[in-house]
Structure 1
Amino acid sequence: MPLVAFGLNHLTAPVSLREQVAFDGDRARLAMSDLRQQAGVDEAMILSTCNRTELYCSVHPGAEHVPAEWLHRHHHLTAEKLDEFLYRHDEDDAVRHIFRVATGLDSMVLGEPQILGQVKDAYQMAREVQTLGPPMERLLQHTFAVAKRVRSDTRIGAHTVSVAFTAVRLAEQVFTDLRDACVLLVGAGDTVELAARHLAGKQVKRLLVANRTLETAQTLAHQHGGYAIALSDLGKHLAEADIVISSTAARQPVITRNMVEAAIATRRRRPMFMVDIAVPRDIEPTVSELRDVFLYGIDDLRQVIDEHLRSRETAANEAGAIIDLQVDRYMNWRRALTLRNPVLDLRASAEAHRDDVLARAQAMIERGKSPEETLAFLANTLTNKLLHAPSARLREAALSGDLDLLNAAERLYGLDADADPNPGADEA
């Protein structure tokens, strides 16, 4: 069955559209099940991160368009609004794309490691809702092996340029010495945890962690010497923050323009630096219009990130060569699934001959034939039936000088290498 990948990412679509097609955990599970139930879809997996939403599907021939049409309907977006931002990869290109995604070659931050964990999470979710079959199961296992090899055989991850690191680096450019800054982290996922580690290394003056689940915030804050607050108390503490880095899975902004206006007034116009690396966005976009507020979104980090990529270009080329080789290997396996298996045909033919001869032998016994005569008939007749077709082909090969077939038969049947290379020639 054809393999297709549809999606949009930070290179093809603005964040305003990416947040409209993003899936969080529970919605992704339901969406994967729904996508798998579409006519013509045999397997399905959805990968949704802050920078991309992608559908990977095995489909029946002629149903290659179904995943994209489902995406339109699911998010109530017209083809005119969505299709110009979508990319589609088929077969080899779809395999190459998921390999590149998992190894970080298609990320905003070249070689960033978090994406592999996100692909594994999507795979685990697809397994839980049973939307994968053997071909895509094999594809994902192959993907993880390729990503591991690229990490071990190249220097793709030699320099830290994650989104979290980039956000901290950008804050450091605004505040020369982070030891004088109070930083508020909103969320407690992997990106925020990485940011907390980087900030702890910079010895920030004060670290606040806000999360919907207070216990989760307390755990992260305790690890890095910070103070935890509930997300519902965010407005009360926002004015304390010189720097805000936010990355939650909320569907609506958790920091509104009114909250920021109030915080700026309390701060007596002391500036605030804010980084929103969530999709959908955590901070209302109109916050950027406020004086004394410097708001950066996920797409704004690109310029900073680009400065760190030169050292990874050679590693990316090496990784691309590894991926090309592994694409061929997976696709050879996948295409073999569609080929007729001669072993199955041979066994089916032999079993049919066996059943026919056995029925005739049983009839002989019922007619009073002796066991010795019946067994001799069964053995001779079954041998002749099983050897008739290959013997005829070998006689033809001997007459025509087809040494390839004769040698192949010798290997197939385990015959003595010193045997007559033209079996059946005298009989012919």
Structure 2
Amino acid sequence: MNQDSNRGLMGYITAGINHRTAPITLREQVAFSAEQLSDALQNARIQTGIEEIAILSTCNRTEIYCAIHSSGSEAVRLCHEKLIDWQSCYHQANGKLLAEHSYLFHDEEAVRHLMRVACGLDSMVLGEPQILGQLKSAYASAQEAGTAGPGLNRLFQHSFTTAKQIRTETAINQQPVSVAYAATRLAKQIFSDLSENTALVIGAGETIELTTRHLCQQGVANIIVANRTLERARRLTDIFGGKPVLLSDLPHILHESDIVISSTASPVPVLGKGTVEKALKQRKHKPMFMVDIAVPRDIEPEVSELADAFLYTVDDLQDVIEDNLQQRKDAAQQAERMIEADTFEFMTRLRALDAVSLLRDYRQSTEAIRDLELEKALQWLARGARPEEVLQQFARSLTNKLMHHPSVQLKNAAAKGQQEKLEWAEKLLGLSTSRQSDSTQDA
């Protein structure tokens, strides 16, 4: 029989940490920047021996998705250990601490979890739409790095389809509740009239663009956009107005800002305690509201020690986010039911694929027996044997060869009293109907 390396049910595992299981100090240690992903994916495959790997890294979570060719508990446990060891080594983080705060899903649980993530059901902000784009980027990175094979392709595509259906058919994302929205909402609670304030947004990615949009909708007239490149900063000011500056200009313009919201991909803080302290002195200690959405953090935590600086991180926004969520919570219940149905459908199709592989191997095996017996029959005919005798011998020999292995297994099952196997074999061989028919005739 052909030994196909892809035989056996495809298994899935997801290992990670998120805002519920790990503090921000640990999350920022094991975060991956966009520039790191390609190297990290290929390094992970080499070090763990897992062929199919994708990594999602956001301010709220770092998750590793894998497709493996075994779903046994021991194989899953070993894969999890390898992933923890690799992450701690790659980031030079505490492996024991990472293991304590991490979670592991496999097979059906992993499929369900990815769908929930894609729909925003597992996010800090229920139903937030940014996560789907981040997940698509993570999948694209795995494809580009060559670590996404047929197993992950099948899983991600199904998850994207489910997310699209849920966002179309439910009210899961109809209310503007996101981290960016929550930051703006908090600013409005502190400054009742935002039109009198100047806002500094640091970064130029999707989160900052959304934040800037919310600030404009809340009436902020003066906006400064700071970024590593002036070109990307100008892209936002062209849309929303305001002044583009470089990150290197921050020490000179920080004092102009009442509101500071930062979300960059910088591996180190872009604002230190000294810079903020100097700006506060220039402001004559007029309070400054600051929100650090980035992981790793953009603003040194020590800034919170300054009397006139009110610094919040993504974890601090949870209470703000609780408002305006009831409609999404109702929709989430509907979404969960849809995910359960789609998870069942996905696993059913996956198991059916395993049957296709088994049937292919079985057909190849029986065809090999047939071809061998046919070759013998043709040789006898070439020697002048009577066709009737050759056909009879061919039929007997083919029948005996095809029945040999099933017969051995059935006898073994009967000897061991494995009645369930015998009943299953009866159905598999299509004998149930005929045996019932014979019993009826005997009666």
* TM-score higher than 0.5: yes
Aligned to 1:237: 253
Aligned to 1:349: 366
Closer/same/farther in 2, CA of residues 153 and 268 from structure 1, 3 Å limit: same
Mapped pair 1:26 → 2:35: yes
Aligned to 2:18: 9
Tell me the distance in 1 between the aligned counterparts of 2:341 and 2:297. 38
Q: 1:132 deviation in Å?
A: 1.9
- Equivalent positions of 1:172-191 (< 5 A) are 172-191=188-207
Q: Which amino acid aligns with 1:123?
A: Y
Kindly indicate whether the alpha-carbon contact (under 8 Å) linking 1:350 and 1:386 is maintained by their aligned counterparts in 2: no
Aligned to 2:61: 52
Kindly indicate whether the alpha-carbon contact (under 8 Å) linking 1:58 and 1:136 is maintained by their aligned counterparts in 2: yes
SS across alignment from 2:36:
helix
- Which residue of 49, 52, 57 corresponds with 1:43? 52
Tell me the distance in 2 between the aligned counterparts of 1:403 and 1:91. 27
Q: Show CA shifts across 1:52-109 (max 9, x none).
A: 0011123455233321222222222233322221111122111111111110000000
- Which residue of 162, 168, 171 corresponds with 1:152? 168
SS across alignment from 1:203:
coil
- Which residue of 199, 218, 234 corresponds with 1:218? 234
Q: 1:246 deviation in Å?
A: 0.4
Q: 1:361 deviation in Å?
A: 2.0
Aligned residue pairs: how many?
400
Aligned to 1:358: 375
Kindly indicate whether the alpha-carbon contact (under 8 Å) linking 1:57 and 1:67 is maintained by their aligned counterparts in 2: no
Tell me the distance in 2 between the aligned counterparts of 1:402 and 1:88. 38
Kindly indicate whether the alpha-carbon contact (under 8 Å) linking 1:357 and 1:378 is maintained by their aligned counterparts in 2: no
Closer/same/farther in 2, CA of residues 118 and 355 from structure 1, 3 Å limit: same
Tell me the distance in 1 between the aligned counterparts of 2:373 and 2:394. 9
Closer/same/farther in 2, CA of residues 359 and 232 from structure 1, 3 Å limit: farther
Tell me the distance in 2 between the aligned counterparts of 1:402 and 1:53. 47
- Equivalent positions of 1:189-268 (< 5 A) are 189-268=205-284
SS across alignment from 1:124:
helix
Closer/same/farther in 2, CA of residues 248 and 54 from structure 1, 3 Å limit: same
Tell me the distance in 1 between the aligned counterparts of 2:396 and 2:162. 51
Tell me the distance in 1 between the aligned counterparts of 2:151 and 2:433. 31
Tell me the distance in 2 between the aligned counterparts of 1:57 and 1:129. 14
Tell me the distance in 1 between the aligned counterparts of 2:101 and 2:130. 24
SS across alignment from 1:17:
helix
Q: Which amino acid aligns with 1:128?
A: E
- Equivalent positions of 1:285-300 (< 5 A) are 285-300=301-316
Mapped pair 1:271 → 2:287: yes
Aligned to 2:6: none
Q: 1:200 deviation in Å?
A: 1.9
Q: 1:31 deviation in Å?
A: 1.3
Closer/same/farther in 2, CA of residues 386 and 197 from structure 1, 3 Å limit: farther
- Which residue of 88, 97, 102 corresponds with 1:86? 102
Tell me the distance in 1 between the aligned counterparts of 2:427 and 2:150. 39
- Equivalent positions of 1:300-315 (< 5 A) are 300-315=316-331
Kindly indicate whether the alpha-carbon contact (under 8 Å) linking 2:12 and 2:65 is maintained by their aligned counterparts in 1: yes
Tell me the distance in 2 between the aligned counterparts of 1:255 and 1:214. 18
Tell me the distance in 2 between the aligned counterparts of 1:74 and 1:212. 26
Closer/same/farther in 2, CA of residues 391 and 67 from structure 1, 3 Å limit: closer
Tell me the distance in 1 between the aligned counterparts of 2:403 and 2:369. 19
Closer/same/farther in 2, CA of residues 384 and 171 from structure 1, 3 Å limit: same
Q: Which runs of 5+ in 2 are unaligned?
A: 1-9, 407-425
Tell me the distance in 2 between the aligned counterparts of 1:120 and 1:254. 28
SS across alignment from 2:116:
helix
**Worse-matched range after superposition: 76-85 or 351-360:** 351-360
SS across alignment from 2:47:
coil
- Which residue of 139, 161, 174 corresponds with 1:123? 139
Q: Which amino acid aligns with 1:4?
A: I
Q: Show CA shifts across 1:249-296 (max 9, x none).
A: 000000111111111111111111111100000011111111211111
Q: Show CA shifts across 1:150-195 (max 9, x none).
A: 1112111121101111111111111111111111110000000001
Task: Give the structure-2-normalised TM-score.
Answer: 0.83
Tell me the distance in 2 between the aligned counterparts of 1:229 and 1:403. 72
Mapped pair 1:72 → 2:81: no
**Worse-matched range after superposition: 318-327 or 346-355:** 346-355
SS across alignment from 2:31:
coil
Q: Show CA shifts across 1:115-174 (max 9, x none).
A: 000110000001111112212211111110111111112111121101111111111111
Aligned-pair Cα RMSD in Å:
2.8
Q: 1:356 deviation in Å?
A: 3.8
Q: 1:203 deviation in Å?
A: 2.9
Aligned to 1:416: none
**Worse-matched range after superposition: 199-208 or 147-156:** 199-208
Tell me the distance in 2 between the aligned counterparts of 1:287 and 1:220. 27
Closer/same/farther in 2, CA of residues 387 and 270 from structure 1, 3 Å limit: same
